[in-house]
Every structure is written in structure tokens, then in C-alpha cells.
Amino acid sequence: MKTGFAIVGVVILFIVFYVGCGILNTAGWFASRSIDVVKQQVDPAELLRKYELFKDEAAQLDAKLANIKIKEGQIKEVKEELKVSADRTNREQMMIWEQELGGIEYRYNALAADYNAQMAKINYRFCNVGELPQGASEPLPREYNPYLEK
């Protein structure tokens, strides 16, 4: 009878040992995978790619803001002309420019939302003064002012 308990005890000990080794092996796999992901994300080539992406998006956002100011100026001029004479051509032109302005604002909002969401995902070093890539003079903004409304 004692040998039966001993065999059962050995079997249980073997099962516990086997399960424990499986857990440790799985934990090792997860740790190895985590290290691979971190290495990939902080790779200089990947950081440069992300920096260039944010630099391009920041330039596009600045251009869209400039375009919005131009359109607003054009619309203001046409409105001033409409005070003097209610020319049909000027009214049509103003409506076209107002629609274009809405489209630019829509694209600005979408790009600002993407920029802000991507920037919030991780603390990018290239946004910190003192850790910029060689040749960069100022850090990228952490967030663009979303969103344009009428």
C-alpha cells in the first residue's frame, strides 16, 4: 500500500514538475518576444522612420493651417465686395470657397487626430529637447490643436 502512495506521489511530483517547466518555458518565450518587440521599436532606423513620418505630418498640418487662412481671406474679400454689389458670380465664388474651406478643415482635423493618436501611443524621444536626431533643430509638437470648428 505504501508503494502505491509512493508511486502516486512520484507521478504527482512529476506532473507538477512538468507543468512548472511548461510555465517557465512559456514565460521565457513571452520574455524573449517582449525583448524582440522592444528592440524593434527602439531600433534607430525605426525611430528615424517615425520621426520622418511625424515631421511630414507636422508640415502638412502647418500647410493646411496656412491654406485655411488664405481661404478665409478670400472669402472675406468676396463678402466685402458683396456689400457693395450683389453680383451672382461673387456669391457663387464665395460658396465654392466656403466649401473648399470646409474640406480643408475636415482634412486638417483628420490629420491632427491621427498625429495626436500616434504621438500619444508612446513617448517618442525625438520630441524631447536634447534627444533630437542629428540635424534637427527643434522638437516636434506633442499635440496639434484639434479641431477646427465653425
pLDDT of 94 higher than 90? no
Whether 80 has a pLDDT exceeding 70, the answer reads yes
* 129 part of a folded domain: yes
- Enclosing domain of residue 145: 46-150
Is 123 inside a domain boundary?
yes
Q: How many domains does the chain have?
A: 1
Whether the CB-CB separation of 75 and 94 falls below 8 Å is answered with yes
Q: 119: exposed, middle or buried (C-beta count within 10 Å: 0-12, 13-18, 19+)? A: buried
Is residue 16 assigned to a domain? Answer: no
Q: Tell me what the mean pLDDT of segment 2-25 comes to.
A: 61
What is the pLDDT, as a whole number, of residue 49? 82
28 within a domain of the structure (yes/no): no
Residue 5 lies in a domain: no
pLDDT band at 102 (very low <50, low <70, confident <90, very high): very high
Type of residue found at 5:
F
pTM over 0.85: no
41 within domain boundaries: no
**Per-residue confidence band for 14, with pLDDT thresholds at 50, 70 and 90:** low
